[in-house]
Amino acid sequence: VKPAPPSAPASAGEAHRERLRALTRQAILQVAEAVVLRAGLGALTLDGIAAELGLTKQELHDHYASREALVGELALQEWTAAADAVHEATQAASSAEDALESLVRSYVSRYTGRLKMFQLATQFTSLSPLAAQLGREHLDAIRPLNDRMYGPTEGKLRHAQAAGRAASSLDPRRLAFIAHTSAMGLLLMQSMVSDLDDSLRHSESRLADELCRVLRQLSAAALRVQEELALARDMQLALLPSDFPRGADWSMHARMLPARELGGDFYDVFSLPDGRFGLLVADVSGKGVAAAFFMAVSRTVLMDVAADGGAPHEVLARANDMLCLRNPKELFITVCYVVFDPATGALEYASGGHPPPLVRREDGRVDVLPACHDIVLAVMPEMPYRTLHASLGSGDTMLLFTDGITEAFSSAGEAYGDDRLLDWLSTSQPATGPRAMVDALVADVHRFVDDAEASDDLTCLILNREAKSGMGTIPQPVQMTDKTVLLDYSLHPTQLPQIAKLAQAVDRALSSRPDLAFSANLCLEELITNIITHGLKGQADHLICIRLSLSVEWLEIVLKDDAPPFDPFGQAAVPDLDLDVEDRPIGGLGVHLVKTLMDDARAHHDGSGNLIVLLKAAQKKSDDATV
């Protein structure tokens, strides 16, 4: 294949003409710049340029139709060259700080002795109405030039931020922009005085030194503030208890997530002299350092006052009086204070401007406890508060929270809201324990807000009283060593549609043994439907408790109800499996399935209800590998 022939002579002539034209244009711009630097922009005329270059007016006009067009191009060429120079200088800098300094120095030094070109490049649009029109195009052209000018500095700053060597509170682009515009300001001052009196002029390099010093101080100050805030945040979080008291049948957990480095929310949990426990959740108005200080003061005051064991309304009233004396910034604080008696489950609570506690009953109903409607603390002394009473039954869960949950906003501007919180609580799983519940709630709120920035601190405290399984002493048909409880679950007869939910919990608990999970689910469903139809005869308001345990040898499934004595294994007739389709009765298979799938199945009545204990060998039998 032959190479393509060289271009035709006609087009070679065309290219030659183009080159000449470009050279002329370049010469015009060079002469124009020389005139500006020598005698100022006022001395620049098209006629003067034409004369200096030996061009006719028409020849010059072919290149630049007007003086503004020429000045516009000269300004743009100057911006381009400045951007290139700064880009190179900052690219070569060894650190983010050096890059900022190089940006300032390379920009300032470019105009040492060339101030008139700086004026031309930056003040071009103030020249005439036509220049203003050109100026808009000029600005559009400048944006990508600024990207080039700031690029290396931005990159180095981002790198330093990632390594913790620069404050992440400063936006790299804005910092580069600030360095650039400060340098421009410095040159602007210089060009103003240079027009007036040379004796007022300072050396650009001295001013640039000063500017670089200020920029360094700013960066260092921002970094120091950030480090101090991180330290303060750690200390603030360390103030809040991370160990929570617990009893034989109750436990609690709480968490505070500050929206910024420092939060104004807090929680507290402490034992009282009479064996009861005080639980606090509070929200200080405002955010940041002031709120954090007031939070620390408020917490100390509330704890001190509560330690005497007074009724909740007395505690809030006294704390309010004390806080009113220690509130220079006129902040206020909303509090919900609950005293919990683990012996009886009794709750006493008082609230100052805070949402009342939510209580999830064992069956999933959620009660919003009555609100106290009393005033926030630290605003006015000698205010009255009242104590209200409620009770936490077995299997009930109490939730205290701050508005950081209900007023968490999604990126679409929608609030998480009370309804969503009530729904979450209703369908939550108290059997997983308060810590997992707290984590689940935080995760639910985070899912809802997605990527939106947290608008407020978020605090929640959960107190569980465990369900009375009443399983007490479970008759042991075999000795089970190293038995681990995998699942405790309770179910209401009215919740038959939730059998699939129970199945999911069983699948999770036995995730390593899907074969056992299948048998367990089948037997649980058969026995639960059996208890509902035969044992409870459709009565509501009963509870069926389920416990799954595993040892090396056995899977144990225990069901407990509070129905009258009823033995599913004694009463069910054994189905005749040899009957043909037409003669087979519909039903009667459930108990047969349980008896066949399990190795042992017994029912006892222990006075309070029926206890069914099922056992299945945990080791797979060689002749039956699937179930």
Partner 1 sequence: MSVELTTAEHQGVHVVSIKGRVDSANADELERGLTYLFSKPGDRAVVNLGELDYISSAGLRVILLLAKRARQNAGRLVLSSLAPQVRVVFEISGFLKILDTAADYESAMKLLAA
Question: Could you say which of 387, 402, 428, 521 contacts partner 1 (CB under 8 A)?
Answer: 521
CA distance 611 to 598: 16
CA distance 606 to 610: 6
Is residue 374 part of the contact set for partner 1 (CB under 8 A)? no
CB 278 within 8 A of CB 272: yes
Write down the least CB distance from residue 526 to partner 1, Å. Answer: 6
Write down the least CB distance from residue 251 to partner 1, Å. Answer: 30
455: left (phi over 0), alpha (psi -120 to 50) or beta: alpha
Is residue 617 part of the contact set for partner 1 (CB under 8 A)? no
Question: Could you say which of 289, 324, 375, 499 contacts partner 1 (CB under 8 A)?
Answer: 499
Is residue 515 part of the contact set for partner 1 (CB under 8 A)? yes
Nearer to partner 1, 518 or 569 (CB): 518
Q: What angle do CA 481, 485, 489 make, to 5 degrees?
A: 150
Q: What angle do CA 81, 82, 83 make, to 5 degrees?
A: 90
Write down the least CB distance from residue 601 to partner 1, Å. Answer: 14
Nearer to partner 1, 351 or 519 (CB): 519
Question: Could you say which of 518, 600, 602, 606 contacts partner 1 (CB under 8 A)?
Answer: 518
- Scan residues 527-546 and list those touching partner 1 (CB under 8 A): 529
Write down the least CB distance from residue 577 to partner 1, Å. Answer: 3
529: left (phi over 0), alpha (psi -120 to 50) or beta: alpha
CB 126 within 8 A of CB 188: no
**Which of 492, 366, 369 has its CA nearest to residue 425?**
366
DSSP assignment string, 308-373:
T---HHHHHHHHHHHHHTT-TT---EEEEEEEE-TTT-EEEEEEESSPPPEEE-TTS-EEEPPP--
CB 171 within 8 A of CB 117: no
CA distance 262 to 291: 8
CB 505 within 8 A of CB 548: no
Is residue 272 part of the contact set for partner 1 (CB under 8 A)? no
Question: Could you say which of 471, 589, 617, 618 contacts partner 1 (CB under 8 A)?
Answer: 589
CA distance 281 to 293: 16
**Which of 521, 489, 538, 492 has its CA nearest to residue 597?**
521
Is residue 243 part of the contact set for partner 1 (CB under 8 A)? no
CA distance 476 to 150: 77
- Token code pair at residue 396: 């009930």
Is residue 593 part of the contact set for partner 1 (CB under 8 A)? yes
Question: Could you say which of 8, 325, 500, 574 contacts partner 1 (CB under 8 A)?
Answer: 500
Q: Strand (E) positions, 392-443? A: 397-401
Question: Could you say which of 6, 54, 497, 538 contacts partner 1 (CB under 8 A)?
Answer: 497
**How many binding residues for partner 1 (CB under 8 A)?**
33
Question: Could you say which of 525, 557, 561, 566 contacts partner 1 (CB under 8 A)?
Answer: 525
Is residue 622 part of the contact set for partner 1 (CB under 8 A)? no
Question: Could you say which of 573, 587, 622, 623 contacts partner 1 (CB under 8 A)?
Answer: 587
Is residue 580 part of the contact set for partner 1 (CB under 8 A)? yes
Place of tokens 């103003």: 192
Write down the least CB distance from residue 571 to partner 1, Å. Answer: 16
**Which of 194, 210, 89, 206 has its CA nearest to residue 150?**
89
Site string for partner 1, 307-326 (x = CB under 8 A): --------------------
Q: Where does 111-251 have alpha helices with state H?
A: 115-123, 129-162, 172-196, 204-239
HSE on the CB side for 382, CA within 13 Å? 0
Question: Could you say which of 584, 602, 604, 605 contacts partner 1 (CB under 8 A)?
Answer: 584
Nearer to partner 1, 347 or 523 (CB): 523
Is residue 574 part of the contact set for partner 1 (CB under 8 A)? no
CA distance 205 to 112: 9
Is residue 581 part of the contact set for partner 1 (CB under 8 A)? yes
Write down the least CB distance from residue 312 to partner 1, Å. Answer: 44
Is residue 627 part of the contact set for partner 1 (CB under 8 A)? yes
Nearer to partner 1, 55 or 516 (CB): 516
Q: Amino acid identity of 201?
A: R
Question: Could you say which of 163, 578, 622, 623 contacts partner 1 (CB under 8 A)?
Answer: 578
HSE on the CB side for 104, CA within 13 Å? 25
Is residue 597 part of the contact set for partner 1 (CB under 8 A)? yes
Nearer to partner 1, 525 or 556 (CB): 525
Is residue 575 part of the contact set for partner 1 (CB under 8 A)? yes
Q: Amino acid identity of 49?
A: I
Place of tokens 């009565």: 539
Q: Which stretch binds partner 1 (CB under 8 A): 81-89, 283-291, 385-393, 591-599?
A: 591-599
Q: Which stretch binds partner 1 (CB under 8 A): 179-187, 200-208, 310-318, 573-581?
A: 573-581
Q: Which stretch binds partner 1 (CB under 8 A): 17-25, 142-150, 496-504, 562-570?
A: 496-504
Is residue 582 part of the contact set for partner 1 (CB under 8 A)? yes
**Which residues of the shown chain bind partner 1 in the complex (CB under 8 A)?**
496-500, 503-504, 515, 518, 521-522, 525-526, 529, 575, 577-582, 584, 586-587, 589-590, 592-593, 596-597, 624, 626-627
